[in-house]
Structure 1
């Protein structure tokens, strides 16, 4: 195969072997290192392969229609919210909870995960910055949903862990007259703030440590390096913006609803 794909990686038998070996490396090291993520790594790899195959087929059908693309983004939002809801709580708590608890937590996670993404994408389309096409809307929304989902998952996980580890401090704050949400917020916000560190580091180190895929893809597609740089800057700032919203909303949500 020739063309743009081969400019980045050569598609063929050697690539298939490399994928298998890298998968074995990820799964094997998690198993031997007793991280508890060996099965999760295997499931993630298999899901990624299957979902990307489905994505390629679905995009060919929906990308020509803005309304169909919007519906696809809604589906992406639901999956992202469900994923974040499951990551916030310990696995045993999530597994033992009923479907109503799952649905409630996932619905709450739509606020930090999907709401900032929807606001930014709609604003960009209405302002003319983003073309009203599926080819532009779906990838842009996907990037932002991914960033907001990761931040929400980490912020929620750190927040709940802090509440478990520092329960005595919450009780002490309550004894001083603070409300439940105020007492929890004192513990939650500093812990949840750590979730933004990856996004901050990614933005600060771009071009020095990392060369993002959007930049490389645009250059290989024929765009000038200046245009690619501007596009990548937009992506990074948008990601940092939606992730910041996700962080603040998640911290407030855990402070209000944690039990």
Structure 2
């Protein structure tokens, strides 16, 4: 997505007014590898990636006492997937209809991934509603105000970043809420005995786990620029050399994520509290659920 945001820079320039960078101040960008992607695609890149993946695997094997191959395997899989996705996006983002098709595929994959992460064995398809709630709270607003132009090169990166964050938050919120209900079932029974409804009884238990699902993005927003440089910022900065433009895009992305995740987690909490998403002992094991069967057909879905 960092590369896609770099490509989308020209579209954002029309809607975000910032001072143009000084030629003398940023002229060093013209000779560095960051201004031209071609020097990066050489033997050096392959060697560095192989060494780092191998080192990570060795640490996992001999220090963490785990397996040697999961990390290198994940690295190879990521390289293959990103190469394929980059090829598809280069063609798809040139037309609006093909961009919409890409967004639909992304949404399906995100739904399956969130369902797997929730570890629910009943009602996990309801997480589609959570993701839809998060996306519809943000994307229409960005399009109607023309902050994000209705073009594939601008819409796909922003949609992908917001969808990815909402997917993670909704999946974690559902899993932690269901864990809390399983561990604190006695509190739910006590609340029911006091006359609370089933929905309110469950909500008393899952409120804290739901709010905890928002903490990673809240921490990222609080420390942006101080501890970490988020991907959108880095992508636009490397593409343009303009820190102001990169900051404007990153602020847009961070605030969009905050709203989308808050709405997605809120809907997830309601679905869990009302029993639409649950873990039931009589149901089939999670590993045999619908999301796992679909995931086998979609190799880009990860745990």
2:82 match:
52
If asked which structure has higher relative contact order (CA below 8 Å, sep 6+), I would say 2
Distance in 2 of aligned mates of 1:173 and 1:154: 25
CA 1:153 to 1:5, structure 2 compared with 1: closer, same or farther past 3 Å? farther
Give CA-to-partner distance per residue, 1:141-191, whole Å, 9 cap, x none.
Answer: 000001101101211111111111111111111111222221111111211
Do structure 1's residue 113 and structure 2's residue 131 form an aligned pair?
A: yes
Distance 1:25 1:148, change over 3 A: farther
How far is the alpha carbon of 1:11 from its aligned partner? 3.5
Give 1:81-160 correspondences, 5 Å limit: 81-89=111-119, 105=124, 107-160=125-178
Aligned partner of 1:33 in structure 2 is: 64
Where 1:221 maps in the other structure, the secondary structure is helix
Deviation at 1:194, TM superposition (A): 0.7
Structure 2 residue runs without a partner (length 5+) = 1-31, 280-303
Deviation of the 1:5 alpha carbon? 6.3
Would you say the 8 A contact 1:162–1:187 is kept in 2?
Answer: yes
CA–CA separation in structure 2 for the residues paired with 1:19 and 1:235: 28
Counterpart of 1:164 in 2: which secondary structure? Answer: helix
Report the alpha carbon displacement of residue 22 of structure 1 after superposing the two structures with TM: 2.9
Q: CA RMSD in A?
A: 2.7
SS in structure 1 of the partner of residue 267 of structure 2: helix
Report the number of matched residues. 246
Partner SS state of residue 210, structure 1: coil
Structure number, greater radius of gyration? 2
The answer to whether residue 80 in structure 2 is matched with residue 80 in structure 1 is: no
User: Stretches of 4+ moved more than 3 A in 1?
Assistant: 2-11, 24-32, 37-47
Report the TM-score, using the length of structure 2 for normalisation: 0.72
1:86–1:28 Cα change, 3 Å: farther
CA distance in 2, matches of 1:85, 1:120: 22
Alpha-carbon distance in structure 2 between the residues aligned to 1:71 and 1:127? 23
- Please report the TM-score for the alignment, with normalisation by the length of structure 1: 0.84
